[in-house]
Structure 1
Amino acid sequence: MDFSASPSGYVRFVHPLHAVLLAFVFPLFLGTLAADIAYWRSAEIQWSNFAQWLNAGGLLVGGFALLAALVSLVRHRKFAIRRPAVYFVVLLAAWIVGFVNALVHSKDAWAIMPEALWWSGAATLLALVASWLGYAGFPAEEKH
């Protein structure tokens, strides 16, 4: 992986495979939120089932993205100081919130609202921030 500085002074942190995995996390959690909103508005139980599957997909792909982020932090310690570490922590928080959301969705469909809606919103917001941090690039020279 090339960590040389670009003309703008930023480096690419994520490996291309890591970027592909990261590209799925936000849309899957966003789909979970959209399905929860649809269930909240319609009370059609299939939306709850759809939200469960989307959330499970977000957790599966997010787990692999989290593993890739951890490998990058361990392999390139001089870059694991600030923003890459914050990226890892935010992605970990999104995964944990998504896991709690999966536990909430495991209850009876009538019992998950509005709790599932809040957890889905939090997971979506954290996944958005993690994606933004992961794709933004990181300064080539960070001040300690």
Structure 2
Amino acid sequence: MTSSTSSSRFRVSSAVFNLLDPIPFGFFVATLIFDVIYASNANVMWAKSASWLVSMGLLFAIIPQLINLAWVWFSKRRVRTRGAAINFWLNVIGIVAALINAFVHSRDAYAVIPDAVWLSVVTVVAMGIGRIILAGEIVTFKESGHGKV
């Protein structure tokens, strides 16, 4: 029984990607919720908390997207699927919107709304659609392989 190093590398990177990929999405959803709450009651605490959440989401988005970049564009052994490429670009759009949102949140709290809300919506929608496409692709792959991964 032999084991190839390339497949174990993909297993480790897959495990790290699957572990870390949902974390920034959760931070960005929480940012959207906090921005909507701040827009409705104007309590500065919600805007400051949202700025921390978007910053933490950006920090946690780095590693999974670098792995995704390597899988989709630089890997010679892995098959690039259309869904993985669409997920990659939707995540890039979401991260760019989140980065702009972090700069918006660096303003005075009263100058954050409405820009922060629509940037949070763009981030969550783009990353959410990417996750849905990727999940549908994984299910299709498993169904076509009769449960073999």
TM range (shorter): 0.7 to 0.9
> Is the Cα contact below 8 Å between 2:31 and 2:120 reproduced in 1?
yes
> Is the Cα contact below 8 Å between 2:47 and 2:109 reproduced in 1?
yes
Shift, 1:118, TM fit: 0.5
> Is the Cα contact below 8 Å between 1:22 and 1:62 reproduced in 2?
yes
Distance of 2:60 and 2:92 partners within structure 1: 12
Distance of 1:121 and 1:105 partners within structure 2: 14
Q: Per-residue displacement from partner, 1:102-133 (whole Å, max 9, x unpaired)?
A: 11111110011111111011111112122223
Size of the aligned set, in residue pairs, is 131
Q: List alignment gaps of at least 5 residues for structure 1.
A: 3-11
Which structure's relative contact order is higher, taking Cα pairs within 8 Å and 6+ residues apart?
1
Distance of 1:86 and 1:77 partners within structure 2: 19
The structure with the greater share of residues assigned to helix is 2
Change (3 A) 1:22 1:84: same
Distance of 2:78 and 2:53 partners within structure 1: 36
Q: List alignment gaps of at least 5 residues for structure 2.
A: 1-6, 145-149
Shift, 1:56, TM fit: 0.8
TM-score normalised by the chain length of structure 2? 0.78
The residue number in structure 1 matching 2:65 is: 66
> Is the Cα contact below 8 Å between 1:39 and 1:48 reproduced in 2?
yes
Distance of 2:91 and 2:127 partners within structure 1: 6
**Aligned residues with identical type, % of pairs:** 26
TM-score normalised by the chain length of structure 1? 0.81
The residue type paired with residue 94 of structure 2 is A
Distance of 2:44 and 2:35 partners within structure 1: 10
The residue number in structure 2 matching 1:45 is: 44
Change (3 A) 1:77 1:112: farther
Shift, 1:50, TM fit: 0.6
Distance of 1:122 and 1:77 partners within structure 2: 33
The residue number in structure 2 matching 1:87 is: 87
Change (3 A) 1:19 1:76: farther
